Amino acid sequence: MQELICGIDEAGRGPLAGPVCAAAVILDPQRKMRGIYDSKILSELDRNKLATKIKSRALAWGIGWASVEEIDTLNIRQANFLAMRRAFEALSLTPTLVLVDGNDPPPIACAAMECIVGGDALKQCISAASILAKTARDAMMVELDAVHPGYGLAQHKGYSVPVHLAALRKLGPSPIHRRSFRPVREAAEAFAGVAAA
């Protein structure tokens, strides 16, 4: 029986806005792919090219999401687990081993699981998952930028950068901002105070 190794990684744990996204990928050991590294060290252009290649050549892949409402209700850790489980359940094949980036094992019903700190730089299947999760979430944030203009979401993808924090103070949080994150909560309180004055 062929060993089917699945890599799982997420994108979007840290941002102040938007959903968290996870990907699960089972690469084909017979079809080697060059250039697959941790998504954080790749350019946006390279990530997008590789995402297309991964989707066409992998034995199976799945994307899972957890919404802002789920993040605020459950907390980011549990929402991240939910996104990972959804990505895993979207696979068309059942892996014999699951490799997860980090040291926090998600509650996924699988045959065997191993957590690897820095796995997105060490295991190609996790790198592939990091690329799919990152490109899917980035595309989503560009779409959300059109719905919620003024925050610069297409540029910073919801992360806590000075221009985003300034927009939060000026405009107040949008419906896709994570109220459970302190900078958003503080911006909401400050905005409410200014509006009431």
pLDDT, one tens digit per residue, over 72-122 is 999 999 999 999 999 999 999 999 999 999 999 999 998 899 999 999 899
Query: Going by DSSP bridges, is the β-strand pair 113-116/60-66 parallel, antiparallel, or unpaired?
Result: unpaired
- Per the structure, the count of domains in the chain is 2
Are both 156 and 186 inside the same structural domain? yes
- What's the confidence (pLDDT) of residue 71? 98
First vs last Cα of the chain: how many Å apart?
A: 69
Residues counted in the chain: 197
Residue 171 domain boundaries: 148-191
Using the predicted structure, report yes or no on whether residue 195 has a pLDDT greater than 60: no
Average pLDDT over residues 51-56: 96
| Residue 111 to residues 81, 89, 96, 182, 196, Cα–Cα distance (Å) | 17, 13, 6, 38, 56
- What's the confidence (pLDDT) of residue 194? 63
Q: Residue 50, class by beta-carbon neighbours within 10 Å (0-12 exposed, 13-18 middle, 19+ buried)?
A: buried
Using the predicted structure, report yes or no on whether residue 152 has a pLDDT greater than 60: yes
Are both 180 and 159 inside the same structural domain? yes
Average pLDDT over residues 26-32: 91
Are both 101 and 155 inside the same structural domain? no
In degrees to the nearest 10, what's the CA dihedral of 65, 47, 127, 58? Answer: 80
